[in-house]
Amino acid sequence: MKNIIAATAAIVSAVSAHSWIECTNHDNSEILPWMKGNSTLQPPVLIDPAMPWYAQYCKGWPRNKANPGNWIDESTNYIWNLVAQGFDMGAVKPSDTHACPPSQRSPTYQNGAPMTTASPGDMIRLRYGGNGHTRGYNAGFAKGPGNVTVYWKGSPEQEITDVSEFTSANALQSQGFADNSFSYPADTSITVPENGLVDKGNWFELNLPKNMAAGRHMMVWVWAYNGANQWSTCFDVMISGSGSGSGSNSPAPASSAAYSAPAVAPTKAAAPSKAAAVVAPVQNVAVPVKNDAPASSPTPAPTPAAPVAPGGAVTVTEWDTVWETDYVVETAAPGYNGRRHAHKRHARQF
């Protein structure tokens, strides 16, 4: 009976808060000002960087991540709950202490979603969803939303396979879960989505060591809160060049099939540099939205006037605070032909 109660508690913990890496090399120089500006409109206009029409801002992806992704599927099948998986229920469910979910235990990448390529000394910006937890909701509350750490063994072709390897010796960099994030409204007493919290963008600016050896470097992003490691995402960075620190947007060699690893294992590199290089901005390639509605007299612009991102701005009209959000989006993104489409989106309010 005690085992059943404990297992139930682990499952409840799994539902209450979760997140995962959506992009391992994200350029937010253009989309973040849109997000901030549109949050001041009345009503606010939601811009979610995870939507497929903003995929051009992602230059690198986690292992086996689809592009475009499916939020409903990913929130069930792509994420890895370290606490729940590690719970031992004997023959019913033995403990699983893998560092990565099954789909991420080899350096496999789907078409259109390659691994990140960088040079020694570069900064790469990881992006993950706040999922309603940026201000501590269901992930620590008064203690805050916890911390995220990237673990790395320090050499090419070295895999972290077990949670026992999440050690200080393998820790490359850490920060608070919400240290680099954007959420609104500005009133920090609003901490839950049911009361209006919107937190669609959290970032981790990872500084790569200047003396990293060339080759594929496996890394694990881990979110810890309430005193325990809770969630992980595994990814790779292909290091090339000699440390220009200029950033790289070139696609990695392994873009679909499993990567074929060379038999080399250089020694661990030194700690990362504090100085972060700036990822070069990406030109906005979205085109103006085609309006299917009849022409009407223009209305005065809201005050303050704020930019609306073309080809993907979303006005949320009705929230379902349990599982999903229904909304209508008008977009000129490729494949949507400027038409209005009804979409159903995972509310990320667990």
Within a domain: 150? yes
Average pLDDT rounded to a whole number, residues 59-67: 95
Q: Nearest-5° angle of CA 144, CA 209, CA 253?
A: 100
Rounded CA separation 164/13 (Å): 21
Question: Which is more confident, 182 or 116?
Answer: 116
Tell me whether residue 232 is in a domain.
yes
- Per the prediction, the chain carries an average pLDDT of 71
Q: Is residue 101 part of a domain?
A: yes
Residue 344 in any domain: the answer is no
Instruction: Please check whether residue 117 lies inside any domain of the structure.
Output: yes
Q: What is the pTM of this model?
A: 0.69
The pLDDT, as a whole number, for residue 185 is 63
Q: Give 346 or 57, the one with higher predicted confidence.
A: 57
Residue with more model confidence, 213 or 141: 213
Range with the poorest average pLDDT among 54-68, 251-265, 297-311:
297-311
Residues in the chain: 350
Q: Is the pLDDT of residue 258 over 50?
A: yes
Highest mean pLDDT among 6-20, 225-239, 294-308, 327-341: 225-239
Radius of gyration of the chain (CA): 21
pLDDT at 73: 80
Q: How many domains does the chain have?
A: 1
Residue 330 belongs to a domain: no
CA distances from 12 to 90, 172, 197, 331 (A): 20, 30, 22, 37
Residue with more model confidence, 191 or 244: 191
What mean pLDDT is predicted for residues 88-95? 92
Extract the runs of DSSP E, i.e. beta strands, from 39-196: 116-118, 123-128, 147-152, 171-176, 181-184
Highest mean pLDDT among 134-148, 170-184, 240-254: 170-184
- Structural domain contains residue 121: yes
What share of the chain has pLDDT > 90, as a percent?
37
Summarize pLDDT for 226-249 with one digit per residue, the tens.
Answer: 889 989 999 999 999 765 444 444
More confident residue, 88 or 346: 88
Residue 172 has pLDDT above 70, yes or no: yes
Q: Decide if 349 is inside a domain.
A: no
Residue 9 has, within 13 A of its CA and on its CB side, a CA count of 10
Query: Please, which residues have CB within 8 angstroms of residue 287's CB and are 6 or more apart in sequence?
Result: 310, 311, 332
Q: Is 251 left (phi over 0), alpha (psi -120 to 50) or beta?
A: beta
**Beta-strand pair 228-239/116-118:** parallel
Q: Which domain range does residue 186 map to?
A: 2-285
